[in-house]
Structures are given as C-alpha cells and as structure tokens.
Chains A and B, each alone.
Chain A
Amino acid sequence: MISSHLPVLQVILPLIAAPLCVILRQGTLSWLLTTLVCFMSLAISSCLYDQVMTEGVISYALGGWLSPWGIEYRLDKLTVFMLLIVNGVAAIVLLGARSSIPNEISSDRLYLFYTAFLLNLTGLLGVIVTGDAFNLFVFIEIASLSSYAMISIGRDRRCLYAAFKYLIFGTIGASFILISVGLLYAVTGTLNMNDIFQRLPDVENTRTLTTALVFFVVGVGIKAAIFPLHLWLPDAYSYSPSIVSTFLAGTTTKVFIYVLIRFIFSIFGYDTAINGGTFNNLLMMFACAGILYGSYLAIKQDSLKRLLAYSSIAQLGYMLLGISLATEAGLAAGLIHVFNHAIIKVALFLSVVTIIFYCKTDSIIQLAGLAKKLPLLTSAFLVSGLSLIGVPMTAGFISKWYLIKASLQSGYWGLVVVIVFSSVLAIIYIWKFIEASYFKSSEKELVALNEDQKTPCLLLFSLALFVIANIYFGLDSSFNVELANAIANDLFRK
C-alpha cells in the first residue's frame, strides 16, 4: 500500500518536517528530526531505486488526478540515480553538521537553519521527481529561496552580500526557466513533460521553440553555475557556513545539470536540441572555457573554500563536456562524473569544515605545518585531492577515464588536451595545500589549534565515509558506471 505512494512521500516528508522544526525551536531536537527525515528519505529513495530497477518507469498521479490534467511524478533510472546522490549527500553531511554548525551559526537561529535545510531538500527532490514542467519551476523556487536563507544565516557578515548576489542571479535564472516553460505551454498547450515531448514535432523549427530553448539553457546555466554564468558561485560557497557550502557543492549544481539533461532529452527531444550541432558545439566551448578558467583561478586562491568553489566550476565543465559530446558514451561519462564529483567535492569540503572547526581559518598560508598536528585530517584531504586530480584507484580516475575515452571515440582530440591540462592545473592547486601543510615547517607560521575543542566524532565519521567512498568507487565502480550506462542507453533510445 505505502510502497505505491513512495514517490510523493519522498517530497512530502521533508516538507512536513520543515514547519515541525520551527515548532520545536531548539537546535539539538531540530537536528535529530532533520537527520531522521534525511535518513528516511534516503531509505525511500533506495526503495524507489529497487522498484525502478525491477519494474521500470514509475508514473505517479499526484492526488489521483491523471496526468494531462494533474501533476505527474515520473521516475526513471536517471531520477533514482539523482535521488540517491542528493539524499546520500544530505543525510551524511547533516550527520557531520552536528559538530560544526554551532560554531558557525548562533544558537538561537539553529532551528531556522534546519528548517531551511529541509525546505531546500524538498525543493531539490521535487525538481528531480516531477514530470511537470511548471511544477519543476515551483520546486526550483523552493530550493532557491531556502538556499538564499541558508547562505545568509551564518555569522560571517559577508554572507549577506553573497546571498544577495545569488538571489539576484538565481531569480533571473528561475525567471528565464519560467519564460521558457511559458513559451512551451504557448505552443503545445500542455505542461506535462511527456505530453510536450509528444507534441513538439508538430511545432518543430518554429522560432518560439528556439526561443524557449535559449531561455531555458541560459536560465539553467545560471542555476548550475555554468561558465560564464557562474559569478554567484565563488562568493556563495566561500562566505556561507561551511557545512552549507558542502551541501550546496554536493547537490544543487548537480540537480541543475540533471534539469538540463531532463529538458534536452525528455522535453525538447534530443534531435531538436542537438541536431543542428550549434547547440552542443556551444555547450562544448563553454565547458572547455569553464574547465580552464575554473582550474586557473583555483590556483590563485588562498582560501580553501574559494579554491574548491573555483574547482567546482571546472568540474561542472567536465559534466557539461560529457553531455555536449552528444553520444551515449559521453552522456554516461558526464553522469559518472556527476556521481563521482559529488563524493569527491563533499569529501574535500568536509575536510575543510573540519579544518575550520579546529583552526578557525581556511587560509592556506596560515595552515602551514598542519600535517604535523592533524595528520589524519590532512591525509583525508590528500586522498580526496588525489581523487579530484584523477589518480588511479580513486573515483576521480574513473570519471577521467570515461571522459577521455568518450572524447577519443567521438574524435575530439582537443578535448583530451583540455582534460589532461586541467588535471595538471588541479595538481597545482591541490598541491598548494599539501605542500604548505606537509613540507612547510618554519615555526612562526604554524597554525594555532583550538585545543579545548571536543573531538567532532560525527563530523569525522561522515568525512571518513566520503573518503572511503572515494577509494571504494575507484576500485569497484560497477554500481555507478553500470547505472550511468543504462541511463544513457535509455535516454538515447527514447
């Protein structure tokens, strides 16, 4: 009975829990509730994964209204893949938040943070499961508004400016998506994604459709921080409370990459969107530019969070590159990187969270000699950093391998050069921190450690989980690689 309603539970559960947090008005209890909800949500998505893998696509009519009139939730393999990523990251990051968040947010606002977190999760999950274009916009707004709140909730005053910047950009992006959805409605008379897909061939090659596509791509480009529409991202990541950056880095931008894939394949239809070649060539250009730009600027940063933020822009370029190859292998490579980058970036951000927890700073210069005091923590950063670079036997290597292979199969030699060159840049910016923490030992630069801090067990636990995941998925990548291949296969057959 209940198993047939799982799709809606996935979204409703965090939505119900959010106001409960406000009623509780207390940090620890809110945390308990939120963590509980996140783990239940993770359990639901695993059940959904099982269902989709055994029974195929699930179509759920919200409130019993059948699909052209009511809102349809539509779950295929891509949906459950994204659900697993978002829920996995949310649950484990939240576990670690217990130790670090009281340091960065004043205690009377803690319950508000958890409320915003739950709303954000609702929004992201809703975006993923919905099969209705307008509903998707609504969920995008829920996710965006709550993330502005989460960013601005910290003690650091600069986060207000970062949140405001994100708000302006994000609103423009969401409006563009709305305009695109409106145009699609104008030409097809429906909002259901599947219906739009069926009816689009009738209006093929109309100017309205092209306009809709352009508005959509620009809108989603802003939201996903695709170069050159990424300007909000570095500030948002570096000034927000560090656990918020961790969560955003692991989920938000990836969900918008998902929206891009979903619109290209399930709404515009692959041929309409890609066929001319102009579209994917443009995407490819921006992807390459983003990869090089992000990696280059990452080298110049002193703040670890900002460094990781620029590196995220580059890594988003990799995902986009995979999609822009317009082949099954390319799309699979992009999806594999969506998964792997989630675990890599979250592991890196979590180690930065822990570093900030102990040292109250994330400036590389001030962290010189850290490895002597916190050897395990720096080695956790090292392992995840190696994974980001793409050293064999780590998750990052698997992504690089499939990306390069897909580029070679399509005959784009230039892309291989871009990928390997940016890997070299990644070595440089990861090495900056490694060299400072391991090999710099001039006495006066040594970090001041907060000795009175209690060991953040939960934080270290979630960090350890992600570091282990980096190695595990580097050694045995059958789960994500096979799933990504299956998804790419499904989407291209459609």
Chain B
Amino acid sequence: MMTDQLLIILALCIPTVAAILIAVTHNNVNLRETGTLLSSVCLIFVVYNLLQIVLAGDQPQLFLLKFLPGLAIHFKIEPLGMLFACIASFLWLINSIYSIGYMRGNNEKHQTRFYICFAVAIASTIGIAFSANLITLFIFYEALTLSTYPLVTHKGSEDAMRAGRAYLGILLSTSICFFLPAIIWTSVLAGNTEFTSGGILDNEMNHCVIFILLMLFSYGIGKAALMPMHRWLPAAMVAPTPVSALLHAVAVVKAGVFSIVKIVTYIFSPALLAEVVDFNLLLYLAGVTIIVASIIALQADNLKRRLAYSTISQLSYVILATALLAPISIMGAALHILAHAFGKITLFFAAGSIYTATKKTAVSELDGIGKVMPWTMGAFAIASLSMIGVPPTAGFLSKWYILQGAFSVESWFAITVIIISTLLNAGYFLPIVYAAFFKKPSDGKKLDYHEAPFAMVFALTVTSILTIVLFLFPEIPLQLVKMLVGNMI
C-alpha cells in the first residue's frame, strides 16, 4: 500500500523536480535538455507501474492535506485518470524530443522558461488526472492555466500578449464564474465533492438544479472549448508549435474534456442524467460546435488555425459522446481522448516541422511539399486519416464506439452530426495531403527544402506509427475504458 502512495507522490514530484533541475542547469544547455528527457522517462516508468496496479483492479489513493472541513487534496487513480496520465506522460517525452529540435532549429529565446513551464504544466496535468475530488481537480486545473500562460506569450510580441490575455481571460473567468460556483453548489447539495462511481447527486434533488449544474460545469470548464467559449484556442495559435501541440494534444484541452467526462460519470452518473434531463441541451451544443468549427476550419488558410478549429470540433466529439449518456458512447469518449491526442500531436508536429524547414504557414503554399518532406507529410497523411476516422488508425476505433452508442440510444441527431462532420473532416484534411503529394509547386520552381531536424522528424514519425499501433493493439486502453463503464452496465 505504501508503495502505491509513493508512486503517486513520485508521479507528481518528478515533473516538479524536473522544473527545478531545469532552472538550476540553465547555463548548460545540453545538461538542461538531458534533465528534461531523463525526468520524462522516469515519469513514464512510474506511470507504467501505476498502470499495472490499476489494471489489476486496484485504485490507489493518497490524502495529502485537508484545508477545509470536508475538503482535502485527495488523489485517487481510477481508470479514466490512468488513461489520461499515460497519454500525458508518454507525450511529454515525445514532445520534449520534438521541442529540442524545434527550439534549437528556430533559435527561440527564453528556452529555460519554456522547459520549466512545460514541466510544471505536466505536473498539473498529472494532478488533474489523479484528482479524487472536484476541489483537487480545480486547483490543478487553475495551475495548468497559469503555467501555460508564459508558454502562449512566449514570443513576447504585442500579438502574443493580446493572445495571452484572451487565453488567460477566458479560461480563468469561465472557471471562476461557472466552474467554482458549480463546485460549491455541488458541495452544498451533496455534502462532498468526491468522485464516486454512481455519482454523488441523486434523483431526490430538483431536476432543474441538476440541469443548471450540468451547464455550469460544461461552460465552466473552458478548456473543453465548447462554443462560444472556444475563442482562446485559436488565439493561442501565436505560441511556438510544440506549445500548440501541448495545448491541443497533451494537456490543456484534454484536461478540459477529461474533466467533463469525469464529472458526468462520477458526479452526476449517466443514469441520473438520462432520467432527469428531459432536453439534452449539451448534446445539441456539442453537435452545433462540431459542425460550425469544421466549417470554419474548412475556410481557414493558416494551417495552425485550421488545426485549431479541427481541435474544437474534435473536442466536442468527446462532449457529444459523453452527452449521449450510453455506457458504450462514454467508452468512445475516453478512447477519443486517446486517439485525438496522438493524431493531433502528429499534425501539429508536422505543421511545426514545415515551418522550421520552410517558414511556411499557409495551406495554399504547401503544393508539392510532400516530395521534399516525405516523412513529415507521410505522418501528416496518417494523422489526417485518424482525424477522419478511417481504418487502420486509432480514430476509427473511437468513432466506432461513439456511433455504436448513438445507435444504441437512437439519437439521430448525433448520428447525422457525426456523418456530416466526417465528410467535413475529409474536406479540410485530404486536400492538404493531395496538394502536398500530387500537385506541382504553383510558381513552377523546384523546391529546394529539406526535412526538418532529425529530432522533429523522429518525434512525428513515432506518434504517427503509434496512431496505427493503437488501432491494431488497443487492448490496454480498451481494458481501462471497460473498467470505467464497468459499473454502469
């Protein structure tokens, strides 16, 4: 039992210690980078050990401190959190490798601050993943917002500062205006805020209140980017690409949808919501977000902007799947967090590697680039397929479960939305792939670019291969999500 707690502490401490180590070794660049890489490997090792414990059916816990009667910093590892921690810790390593290539390749300033904030963001993410009650979740949620702010404003230009203000303003104000009151309200109603399987709110309560609470949570978690709270995400595009990758794939937005799935399953419980909520507003909001964001993505010419709107739409897939309230669609939601993480990080890596090699940012400039950057664009193609949901990629798997869930509750709205958005996804990703490989450069000149630095190409190749591997061998994630919905069925 002791070792379980030690592992939890280690998982939280390793990124924090890494941040300190990075700060101490800021003079020696190579030593600093070694510190980052070593700590991420250690973190993966610790998380792997925890994974074994969770797969064996255990749920290790740790009480840290109690700062109000009935409120404590409390960690408990349940399957969904475990899955999220695995994603975050693994992608930290990959992202670090990529960042080293990117930051050096582009001669970015303030690299030490960058790596420190990155490590702190990972520590907060692990805290979110392992939180056992709403208040712990909230604390780390805010820590994540604050620690990523310097990353978003990394360039320090007027644009970056404005984007940073939007980022901080939207995320902090939604969390304080909606999320915190929702937490306090929950604690007034239920007497505690612990994540309990089967939920802590019950049928006796005013149905209208439960509905309002659900909406407060959905909009309070601004990181989930449910429209119209999505503006921070495209604004944050000014950040360096590894940061966008972190924001979109590893930590920030994933923390958002993860919290929503966790709150729906462990605070409300889907059974309660299905019984109480007559009009499933959340489902329709998510559906509208999916379609609208896809249409905006279709029109965007800036590659990163297109990817950002694609993320907004993909996040709402998770919310939609959760709002369907069928156990199988919640499995789909959890799997989609995983599948989207690997797909989207590959796409961002590719965008960054194109920028590093060619300084190009617009979709319309990418004609024929596949010839000179085959690895990058190959990975981009695989990840695009995963976004669309074509086998053999991980995206297919999650979409399959979500659709199955939609059919099981006969939600024709959700089915229509998924079909239309699949078409839209194909509409905004495939032309890029087609242009890159089959079109000739518009000005007729031969392109004299090369692949990006090795570290970057290596990272994006690994993530794209994993997108396929996850389709072929999905046992471990499947087992985790089955445990998640186990008591619901």
Interface residues, chain A, with chain B CB atoms under 8 Å away: 389-393, 398, 400-401, 404-405, 408-409, 416-417, 420-421, 423-424, 427-428, 431, 435, 439, 441, 474-477, 481
Contacts and interface: CB of A to CB of B under 8 A. Distances in A.
Contact of A393 (B139, B168, B169): B139
Interface in B187-231: 187-188
Chain A CB within 10 A, most for which of B68, B138, B156, B172: B68
B153 interface: yes
10 contacts: A398-B68, A401-B184, A404-B184, A405-B184, A417-B177, A421-B177, A439-B161, A475-B65, A475-B67, A481-B68
B185 interface: yes
Contacts of A421: 177
Given A408-B185, A439-B153, A441-B156, A427 B65 contact: no
B157 to A, nearest CB: 11
Contacts of A401: 68, 71, 184
A481 B71 CA distance: 14
A398 B135 CA distance: 12
Given A420-B176, A481-B68, A435 B142 contact: no
Nearest to A391: B142
A409 B188 contact: yes
B172 A427 contact: yes
B173 interface: yes
B172 A420 contact: no
Contact of A477 (B68, B156, B181): B68
Nearest to B212: A413
Contact of A405 (B173, B177, B187): B187
Nearest to A478: B69
B259 to A, nearest CB: 15
A475 to B, nearest CB: 5
A439 B67 contact: no
Interface in B146-191: 150, 153, 156, 161, 164-165, 168-169, 172-173, 176-177, 180-181, 184-185, 187-188
Nearest to A386: B146
B179 to A, nearest CB: 10
Contacts of A424: 172-173, 176-177
A393 B161 CA distance: 28
Given A401-B184, A408-B188, 7 more contacts: A401-B71, A408-B184, A409-B188, A421-B177, A424-B176, A481-B68, A481-B69
Contacts, number: 61
Contacts of B142: 391-392
B417 to A, nearest CB: 32
Contacts of A428: 169
Contacts of A476: 65, 67
Contact of B181 (A404, A474, A481): A404
B156 A439 contact: yes
A404 B186 CA distance: 12
A417 B153 CA distance: 30
Contacts of B135: 392
Nearest to B178: A420
Question: Interface range on chain B: under 10, 10 to 19, 20 to 34, or 35 or more?
Answer: 20 to 34
Contacts of A393: 67, 139
B358 to A, nearest CB: 30
Contacts of A400: 180
Contacts of B139: 392-393
A431 B67 contact: no
A416 B181 contact: yes
Contacts of B177: 417, 420-421, 424
Contact of B168 (A404, A409, A431, A477): A431
* Interchain residue pairs A-B with the least CB separation, the first 7: A392-B139, A424-B173, A420-B177, A475-B67, A404-B184, A423-B176, A408-B188
A361 B299 CA distance: 50
B67 A474 contact: yes
Contacts of B65: 475-476
Contacts of B173: 424, 427
A427 B165 CA distance: 11
Nearest to B136: A392
B351 to A, nearest CB: 26
Interface string B48-85: 00000000000000000101110100000000000000
A400 to B, nearest CB: 8
Contacts of B69: 481
Contacts of A439: 150, 153, 156, 161, 164
A474 B66 CA distance: 10
A335 B110 CA distance: 45
A238 B99 CA distance: 47
A79 B234 CA distance: 55
A431 B177 CA distance: 17
A78 B173 CA distance: 35
Given A392-B142, A420-B176, A439-B161, A477 B67 contact: yes
A376 to B, nearest CB: 14
A427 B187 CA distance: 25
Given A416-B181, A424-B172, A424-B173, A405 B153 contact: no
Contacts of A391: 142
Contacts of B156: 439, 441
Nearest to B149: A439
B315 to A, nearest CB: 24
A318 B168 CA distance: 25
Contacts of A435: 161, 165
A475 B65 CA distance: 8
A494 to B, nearest CB: 25
A420 B188 contact: no
A390 B181 CA distance: 13
B21 to A, nearest CB: 19
B188 A405 contact: yes
Contacts of A389: 176
Contacts of B153: 439
Nearest to A422: B176
Interface in B111-139: 135, 138-139
B176 A427 contact: yes
Contacts of B181: 404, 416, 420
Most chain-B CB neighbours within 10 Å: which of A392, A421, A431? Answer: A392
